[in-house]
C-alpha cells in the first residue's frame, strides 16, 4: 500500500501522463530535440579529456564531428572508466564519477564497466519513469501506481570498484529511483533483490511478495516466464497484476506463453534499454515499434548494418543522424551519452518502422548477425520465422539457437548450411521431426530474406539442418555458461560455432533429429 493517499497518486500520475502525451505529440520527428541534445553534449565536453582529444565543443559542426570522431566499442572506454573509478576527474564527463554499470557480457562473456555520471543517473531515472508512464498513456489507466513493482533479474548489489561503486543495470536502476518510488513502488526487499539470478531467487521473490499487491513485473521475458511459472506451481497469484515490462531481450518465442501465463487483462510493455542508456519504449501496439526517446539526453546515430565488418576507424563518416535515417533499413545503433560515451557502438541492430514519430524495433546484435555465407540474416528474422512455423503446426518453441555449419571438402559446390538447435514443448498434436522443420524453415526464411534466397539459389547455402534437443538442454547450457548473460539473454544466433559446439557437448536428441556432427 502506498504511503501517499491514492487519490493524490491518481491525480499526479494522470497529470504527468497528460503532460507526456502532449509532449510526445509536439516532438514530431524528434529532429529538433536531437539537435538540442547534440548542442548540450558538445558544450559539456569542452572541458573533458576526450573532448580535448577530439576537439569537441559548442562551436563544432556535426559534419566535422561525423568525419573526425571514430566509432568505439564499450570495451574501448575501459581504461578511461577505470581511471574515473580511481577518482580522476574530467575524463569522459565533467567532474568525478562514483557509480558504474556493468554490461551484460552476452557476446564474449566479459562484462564491461561504464560510468554512471550524475547526469546519466538522471537520464536513467527520468526515462524509466517515462517508460512506465507510457503504459498509462496508451491504456488510459494509472492503477499501476497503486501497488508494488516487482523486478526479477540480476542482483541489485553494488560493490566497491577502485573507490567507487559498481553493479549491473538492475542495481543501478534501483539506485537511480526517486525516494518516493523506492518507498512506495519498488519490490522486493533489498536482501532478496541482491540475490543472484536463479531458482533460489525465484523462490525468495515469491515467498517475500506472495501477499503483496503486485501490479507490475519487470525483467527479461525468460525471467518473467520462469517467475510466473514458479508462482503458478505454488498455487499463488497476484490478482491485480496489470503489466509485465519486458527488458533486456526481444519477447520473441516467450511472448505468447508469457501472455497466457500472466492472464487476460495483463499487458506486455516493452522497453529497449541497456547499460549505455534507455533508448525507447512502447507507446502503442508493439507491432508498431518502440518510441525513440529523442529528448532524453542521448544523441543517436545509425550505421547501415551492411557496413559492419570493416575497421571502426573508417565507419564514422558512414553514420547518419536521425534526420537522415530511413525505414526498412537495418542500422547498428550508435550513442553519444551523458555518461561521456562518444559514438559508442551499442551492439544492437535496429530498424525504423516509422519516422513520424520515430519508432523502431530491435533486429538483433551486431556481433550475432548470421552472415557466414553472405545471407545477412538477423535474430528477429530467425525468431519470427520459427514462431510462424510453430504456430501453423501447433508446436510450442521453448528455446533455439542457429549457427553456421561449413561443409567439409572442396568437391561440393555448397559452402555450408544453417544448423538450428531447437527445443520444443512436449505434447504436440503433430509430431515434429528435424527434416520436416528444416524444410519449412528453409521456405519461410527464403520468403523473408532476399539475401538468403540468393545464397540458396547460387549454392552458397544448403538446406538447413535441425537438431531437436530434449527438454532442459538450453537450461543446462545456461547453468554451465552463466557469463554469457544467463537464459534471459541467450544468443539466438552467432556467426561462429561457439555456442553450437557447447550445445553439442550436452545435447540429447529426439529420434526424429539428425545426429550431431562437428565443424569442417
List C-alpha distances in Å: 149 to 181, 375, 519: 9, 42, 46
Residue 177 CA to chain centroid, in angstroms?
A: 21
Give one word for 38, left, alpha or beta, with left for phi > 0 and alpha for psi -120 to 50: alpha
Going through 407-505 in order, the beta strands assigned E by DSSP cover: 416-424, 465-468
Q: Are residues 23 and 95 in the same domain?
A: yes
Q: Are residues 152 and 260 in the same domain?
A: yes
Give one word for 248, left, alpha or beta, with left for phi > 0 and alpha for psi -120 to 50: left
Distance CA 360, CA 351 (A): 5
Paired with 365 in beta bridges are 348
| Domain total of the chain | 2
Is residue 165 included in any domain, yes or no? yes
Residues 349/362, Cβ–Cβ less than 8 Å: yes
Residues 26/287, Cβ–Cβ less than 8 Å: no
Helix (H, G, I), strand (E, B) or coil at 229: helix
Peptide bond into 357 cis (omega under 30): yes
Cα angle 282-286-287, degrees, rounded to a multiple of 5: 140
Is residue 517 included in any domain, yes or no? no
Domain end point (choices 368, 393, 424):
368
Report which of 297, 368, 345 is spatially closest to residue 70, judged by C-alpha positions.
Answer: 345
What strands lie across the sheet with 99-102, from one edge to the other?
A: 113-115, 99-102, 164-168, 159-161
Domain containing 495 equals 379-504
Q: Nine-digit cell at 428?
A: 504436440
Q: Are residues 212 and 257 in the same domain?
A: yes
Burial of 412 (0-12, 13-18, 19+ CB in 10 A): exposed
Is residue 331 included in any domain, yes or no? yes
Residue 42 CA to chain centroid, in angstroms?
A: 27
Q: Are residues 237 and 109 in the same domain?
A: yes
Q: Are residues 307 and 427 in the same domain?
A: no
Helix (H, G, I), strand (E, B) or coil at 337: coil
Q: Are residues 363 and 385 in the same domain?
A: no
Cα angle 172-176-179, degrees, rounded to a multiple of 5: 135
Length of the chain as a residue count: 520
User: What is the predicted pLDDT for the residue at 166?
Assistant: 92
Q: Nine-digit cell at 345?
A: 557502438
Q: Are residues 196 and 56 in the same domain?
A: yes
Is residue 201 included in any domain, yes or no? yes
User: What is the predicted pLDDT for the residue at 486?
Assistant: 62
One pLDDT digit (tens) per residue for the chain, 520 residues: 455 677 788 778 888 888 888 888 778 899 999 999 999 999 999 999 999 999 999 999 999 999 999 999 999 999 999 999 999 999 999 999 999 999 876 666 678 899 999 999 999 999 999 999 999 888 888 888 889 999 988 899 998 877 789 999 999 999 888 888 888 888 888 899 999 888 899 999 999 999 999 999 999 999 999 999 999 999 999 999 999 999 988 899 999 999 999 999 899 999 999 999 999 999 988 789 999 999 999 999 999 998 887 788 889 999 999 999 999 899 999 999 999 999 999 999 999 999 999 999 999 998 888 999 989 999 999 999 999 999 999 999 999 999 999 876 544 445 899 999 999 998 776 788 999 999 999 999 999 999 999 999 998 899 999 999 998 899 889 888 877 766 567 889 999 999 999 999 888 554 445 444 433 3
Find the radius of gyration of the CA atoms of the chain. 23
Distance CA 354, CA 356 (A): 6
Is residue 1 included in any domain, yes or no? no
Q: Are residues 362 and 393 in the same domain?
A: no
Domain end point (choices 346, 368, 390):
368
Q: Nine-digit cell at 239?
A: 490478482
Residues 397/391, Cβ–Cβ less than 8 Å: no
For residue 284, the domain's CATH number is: 3.40.50.12780
User: What is the predicted pLDDT for the residue at 8?
Assistant: 80
Residues 428/437, Cβ–Cβ less than 8 Å: no
What strands lie across the sheet with 465-468, from one edge to the other?
A: 397-406, 416-424, 465-468
Give start and end residues of each alpha helix (H) in 140-220.
169-176, 179-184, 190-193, 199-209
Residues 297/337, Cβ–Cβ less than 8 Å: yes
Report which of 47, 169, 52, 37 is spatially closest to residue 99, judged by C-alpha positions.
Answer: 169
Amino acid at each position: 500500500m502506498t504511503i501517499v493517499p491514492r487519490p493524490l497518486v491518481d491525480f499526479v500520475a494522470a497529470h504527468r501522463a497528460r503532460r507526456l502525451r502532449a509532449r510526445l505529440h509536439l516532438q514530431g520527428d524528434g529532429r529538433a530535440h536531437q539537435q538540442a541534445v547534440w548542442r548540450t553534449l558538445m558544450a559539456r565536453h569542452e572541458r573533458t579529456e576526450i573532448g580535448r582529444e577530439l576537439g569537441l565543443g559548442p562551436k563544432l559542426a556535426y559534419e566535422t564531428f561525423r568525419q573526425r570522431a571514430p566509432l568505439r566499442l564499450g570495451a574501448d572506454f575501459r581504461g578511461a572508466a577505470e581511471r574515473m573509478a580511481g577518482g580522476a576527474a574530467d575524463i569522459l564527463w565533467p567532474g568525478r564519477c562514483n557509480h558504474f554499470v556493468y554490461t551484460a557480457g552476452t557476446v564474449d562473456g566479459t562484462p564491461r564497466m561504464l560510468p554512471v555520471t550524475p547526469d546519466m543517473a538522471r537520464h536513467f531515472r527520468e526515462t524509466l519513469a517515462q517508460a512506465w508512464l507510457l503504459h498509462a498513456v496508451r491504456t488510459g489507466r494509472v492503477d499501476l501506481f497503486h501497488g508494488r513493482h516487482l523486478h526479477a533479474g540480476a542482483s541489485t548489489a553494488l560493490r566497491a570498484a577502485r573507490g567507487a561503486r559498481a553493479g549491473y543495470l538492475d542495481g543501478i536502476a534501483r539506485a537511480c529511483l526517486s525516494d518516493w518510488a523506492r518507498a512506495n513502488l519498488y519490490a522486493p526487499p533489498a536482501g532478496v533483490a541482491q540475490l543472484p539470478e536463479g531458482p533460489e531467487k525465484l523462490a525468495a521473490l515469491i515467498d517475500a511478495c506472495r501477499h503483496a499487491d503486485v501490479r507490475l513485473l519487470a525483467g527479461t521475458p525468460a525471467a518473467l516466464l520462469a517467475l510466473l511459472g514458479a508462482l503458478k506451481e505454488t498455487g499463488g497469484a497476484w490478482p491485480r497484476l496489470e503489466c509485465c515490462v519486458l527488458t533486456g531481450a526481444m519477447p520473441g518465442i516467450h511472448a505468447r506463453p508469457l501472455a497466457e501465463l500472466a492472464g487476460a487483462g495483463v499487458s506486455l510493455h516493452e522497453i529497449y534499454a541497456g547499460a549505455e542508456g534507455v533508448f525507447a519504449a512502447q507507446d502503442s501496439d508493439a507491432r508498431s515499434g518502440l518510441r525513440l526517446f529523442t529528448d532524453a539526453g542521448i544523441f543517436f546515430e545509425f550505421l547501415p548494418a551492411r557496413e559492419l565488418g570493416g575497421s571502426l576507424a573508417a565507419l564514422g563518416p558512414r553514420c547518419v543522424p536521425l534526420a537522415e535515417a530511413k525505414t526498412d533499413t537495418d542500422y547498428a545503433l550508435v550513442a553519444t551519452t551523458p555518461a561521456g560515451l562518444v559514438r559508442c557502438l551499442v551492439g544492437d541492430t535496429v530498424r525504423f518502422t516509422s519516422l513520424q514519430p520515430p519508432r523502431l524495433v530491435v533486429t538483433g546484435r551486431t556481433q550475432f548477425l548470421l552472415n557466414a555465407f553472405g545471407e545477412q540474416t538477423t535474430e528477429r528474422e530467425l525468431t519470427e520465422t520459427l514462431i510462424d512455423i510453430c504456430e501453423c503446426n501447433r508446436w510450442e518453441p521453448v528455446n533455439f539457437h542457429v549457427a553456421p555449419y561449413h561443409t567439409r571438402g572442396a568437391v561440393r559446390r555448397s559452402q555450408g548450411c544453417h544448423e538450428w538447435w531447437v527445443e520444443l514443448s512436449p505434447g504436440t498434436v503433430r509430431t515434429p521431426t528435424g527434416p520436416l522443420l528444416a524444410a519449412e524453415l528453409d521456405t519461410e526464411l527464403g520468403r523473408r530474406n532476399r539475401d538468403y534466397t540468393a545464397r540458396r539459389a547460387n549454392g552458397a547455402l544448403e538446406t538447413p539442418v535441425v537438431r531437436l534437443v530434449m527438454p532442459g538442454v538450453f537450461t543446462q547450457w545456461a547453468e554451465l555458461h552463466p557469463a554469457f548473460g544467463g537464459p534471459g539473454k541467450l544468443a539466438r544466433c552467432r556467426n561462429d560455432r561457439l555456442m553450437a559446439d557447447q550445445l553439442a557437448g550436452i545435447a540429447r536428441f529426439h529420434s526424429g533429429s539428425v545426429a550431431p556432427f562437428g565443424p569442417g
